[in-house]
Structure 1
Amino acid sequence: MTDASSDRPATEVVALKGSNASGMRAHNERLVLSLVRGEGALAKSDIARMTGLSAQTVSVIMRQLEQDGLLVRGEPVRGRIGQPSVPMSLNPDGAFFLGLKIGRRSADLSLVDFLGRARAMRRKVYRYPTPDTVVAFVREALPEVAAAVSADGRARIGGLGVAMPFQLWSWVEFIGAPQAEMDAWRTRDIQAELAEATGLPVHVQNDATSACRAELVFGTGDRPRDFLYFYFGTFIGGGLVLNGQLHLGRTGNAAGVGPMPVPGPDGRMQRLLSVASMSALADQIEAGGESADILWEKPDHWPFRQEVLSVWIDRAAAGLAWASLSAATLIELEAVLIDGWMPASVRAELARRTHEHYHRLDLAGVGPLAIREGTIGPLARSLGAAAIPLSHRYLIDQNA
């Protein structure tokens, strides 16, 4: 759930325009839910003003959404004159969604409520992912996850979103997996298999794009309308938001930032993922005689030597700074957000050093760019996966 922001420019909401035509009720319901999600609790008069819909149309829509259990009434707010206004907010139990993150080292299955809070989660750690392992995990974990809510809540589960790296078979050299087993991803229809296993509609999306969606739908604080998002997993991925809307690209892999060329520590050009990824950190840790296994198991605490972490953070930050500059010269971005499978303290230091490295570069002719932390953290991919069916059913395309 996003926080309301009193200083948010009015242009951010007026772009969402409704229609009073009777055939557009589904559109208008999505419009109302999108506004309440983005702005916080709103009264009918607020929504009428923001959308241009008539007061009668708004009243009918909100009454229906309340009857469907998607909105709940707040305490009346009395003004100096007229009837008190009644703010309406999202009902956490109004709808639930499943999010499956298929990572290169682990899989998470989460049950997420209408506000984006994880009600239950199960995790499986493996050496590398195969379709059989993932489907078996979902079959086993689904009853346990669904048991976290009542029978009525289980009836309100609206779908399963899947966040996974595309072309998993092409990464065998980086994760040490047998090519023959990883080649199964080429021919298996994981979407159909999971739909059969769960009995739910299934949506599949790139994992880093899904993490960006989690920031867009569930993130807190004031979000820019145009930003590039970096997510640290085993490798690094990204997402791109333009005009407040997630930009997927022609194949769904827009802002796949890992291959972006950046200068390495020796000055030679290399791919961003070579310096800014957890696999690079794991290599440095193991080169120092320590095990890197805890990286994949405990994202909230990394008990490694500070000097190893510091070297990795600095190299990653330098790479992110160059990548941010390249993106900013092509697209007029407002901000870069950095998040990942890492402790909050590491994320904060990574954002701080990226800001420092960025401002050491030649920024002539480049507009101002804010560099800051994301707000979701290690669960961004699984929460973003759950946000896919939520978006399909209840949110509106702001560019429509």
Structure 2
Amino acid sequence: MKPASGRGSNSANVRRYNERLLLQALRRTEPASKADLARHANLTSTAVGSIIESLGKAGLIEYTGRRIEGQRGQPAALIRLDPRGAFGIGVRLDRTGIETVLVNFAGDVLGRSAIDMVLPHPSVVLEIVRRDVEQMLALLSASERERLAGIGIAQPFNLGSWLRELGLPAENFRAWDETDFPDALSRALNLPVFSENDGNAAATAELFYGHGRTCDDFIYLFLGSAIGGGIAIDGDCLRGASGNAGDIGVIPVPPSRLPSAPQPVGQWDILLSRASLNALVRHLHYSGAAADNRVDLQACIEQRLPAVDEWIEDCIEALAPALRATLCVLDVPMVVIDSDIDGGLLDRLVARLRTTMTANAPEARGTPALVRGTFGPDAGAIGAATLPMFYNFSPRAGFRHAGIKTQEVNHAA
């Protein structure tokens, strides 16, 4: 197999790429036989056999039985990823919360810590996160700690921006725009830290462990305190010059007609001021409902308060044309939508969005599949934990230019 362009021409780079290609094939088809993997990766049986032997010695795969049904001759041995082959810790920093998770190579969450709070000063958050990471490390044995691929940080890149639209206090966030938090955490822990904006991180989790196992190209949307996004093309996430490709939240939209919404300074508003959970909370407060935390907010949704339906209509009125415009530029077959909260909200939003986009589709253009995301409220944190996994084990090279605060981990395949 010839090396793909940009991946180097020497045999070591080719072998490393092929190892990662087989790991990706296992994520998508496991359990699989060597013959299955050879067909999927377009490699010879001899090459696959050699790589499988190497991955087995590295502890990244394991045998899980034999295929018996419908087969002649010797039953084929079946292979899958070894969940203990690697581990990642992810930290999601949101304007209204901190979440830390530990995941294994299969994407299973082994431990978590979550705090709902308006994000305090970076020095305070550093101590919280350092404590949480140490708690996650304590869940691993000494040998498992050697298989830690790194720490991932997922956060909005502009934490100090759009606070008026989100109804948050500016004094809490001024220091964040002057702080390199991933670098500070890497120094505090002496561990490799991989950083990405929260939309791209969550989209990476979908690529690695979710819908990306069957679809290489999709738009990803996450409804949190703001609305984040990511773009998956050919099995990798687009980043753009500043790392903000897919940031649908700042697409210009007409001002909201809800009486709870602040009027924009200029002619246009931005999508996150209308399509965000903060906008929903703001409208619930205006309507006299208690929605001071996630439990209250979910209760309001489950009770189907009129204010929730009013916000949904206003959200879809802004989101549908913004998404349609995005689809005009990115011809993808799927849109994945996830949310920080449910209570039936996500199904209602997806159904309403599908109806609106189908009814208003341009001539000769259809509507892509609109599907729920895989991880729900865990998407950002699992996305963060996926960053070191993606960097070390994906055949895609896009994240080589992402924020990595120490040397690349070398125990990977």
TM-score over 0.5 (shorter chain)? yes
1:50 aligns with 2:45: no
Corresponding letter in the other structure for 1:354: L
Change (3 A) 1:302 1:121: farther
2:404 alignment counterpart = none
Distance 1:312 1:275 in 2: 8
Counterpart mapping for 1:1-20 below 5 A: none
2:289 alignment counterpart = 290
1:176 alignment counterpart = 168
Change (3 A) 1:22 1:245: closer
> Which residue, out of 188, 202, 206, partners 2:197?
206
SS at match of 2:395: coil
1:74 aligns with 2:73: no
Distance 2:141 2:213 in 1: 34
Shift of 1:239: 0.7
1:29 aligns with 2:19: yes
Shift of 1:302: 4.9
1:142 aligns with 2:141: no
Distance 1:23 1:239 in 2: 28
Are the equivalent residues in 1 in contact too, given 2:149–2:389 (CA < 8 A)?
yes
Consecutive unaligned residues of structure 1, counting only runs of 5 or more, are 1-13
Corresponding letter in the other structure for 1:47: L
Change (3 A) 1:367 1:361: closer
1:167 aligns with 2:158: yes
Counterpart mapping for 1:47-196 below 5 A: 47-78=37-68, 80-173=71-164, 174-179=166-171, 181-196=172-187
2:408 alignment counterpart = none
Distance 2:44 2:204 in 1: 31
> Which residue, out of 237, 248, 254, partners 2:239?
248
2:406 alignment counterpart = none
Change (3 A) 1:297 1:134: farther
Distance 1:289 1:148 in 2: 44
Are the equivalent residues in 2 in contact too, given 1:325–1:358 (CA < 8 A)?
yes
Are the equivalent residues in 2 in contact too, given 1:20–1:54 (CA < 8 A)?
no
Are the equivalent residues in 2 in contact too, given 1:99–1:161 (CA < 8 A)?
yes
Identity %: 31
Are the equivalent residues in 1 in contact too, given 2:358–2:366 (CA < 8 A)?
no
SS at match of 2:387: helix
Change (3 A) 1:80 1:101: closer
Please give the per-residue CA displacement for 1:158-214, whole angstroms capped at 9, x wherever unaligned. Answer: 1001000012122343343344x5232233221221112222110110111111111
> Which residue, out of 245, 249, 254, partners 1:258?
249
Change (3 A) 1:22 1:201: closer
Distance 1:31 1:148 in 2: 30
Are the equivalent residues in 2 in contact too, given 1:34–1:396 (CA < 8 A)?
yes
TM-score scaled by length of structure 1:
0.88
Change (3 A) 1:300 1:20: farther
Change (3 A) 1:296 1:80: closer
2:328 alignment counterpart = 329
RMSD: 2.8
Change (3 A) 1:22 1:333: closer
Distance 2:196 2:287 in 1: 36
TM-score scaled by length of structure 2:
0.85
Shift of 1:224: 3.2
Change (3 A) 1:139 1:266: closer
Are the equivalent residues in 1 in contact too, given 2:274–2:315 (CA < 8 A)?
yes
1:364 aligns with 2:363: yes
Please give the per-residue CA displacement for 1:39-90, whole angstroms capped at 9, x wherever unaligned. Answer: 2222111222222322222112111211221101021113543332111101
1:226 alignment counterpart = 217
Change (3 A) 1:331 1:88: same
Change (3 A) 1:301 1:48: farther
Shift of 1:385: 0.6
Change (3 A) 1:336 1:67: same
